[in-house]
Amino acid sequence: MKKFSDFKLAKKTLDGDKTSIDDIIGKTIVVLDYKIAPSKQKSNTEYATIQFYFANDANKEKKVLFTGSEVLKEQLEQISESEEFEPFEATIKQIHNYYSFT
């Protein structure tokens, strides 16, 4: 008999403490997972939920970031289109008026 966890359900919940993008700019993070969904705040737009932990955190405490950054969403989608998503290490930088993984 299958277990509930064996099913690949489309809707996924990303848990962790909510974090502001200002708190992680310039810090190395490990992106564990993400999802892109329609925004409830702005009609006809989407936002990304990014689950991560700080690379220097020995406890690997999960955090979540909610962002409408078009560049970050596009970068995440490009990774998923090119290969199966796996956790990765990155830094989010602010470049003029947008954010980007580096």
Q: Where are the domains of the chain?
A: 14-101
Distances (CA, A) of 4 to 14, 19, 34, 35, 92: 17, 30, 21, 21, 35
pLDDT tens digits for range 17-75: 999 999 999 999 999 999 999 988 888 899 999 999 999 999 999 999 999 999 999 99
User: Amino acid letter at 2?
Assistant: K
Banded model confidence at residue 80, pLDDT cuts 50, 70, 90: confident
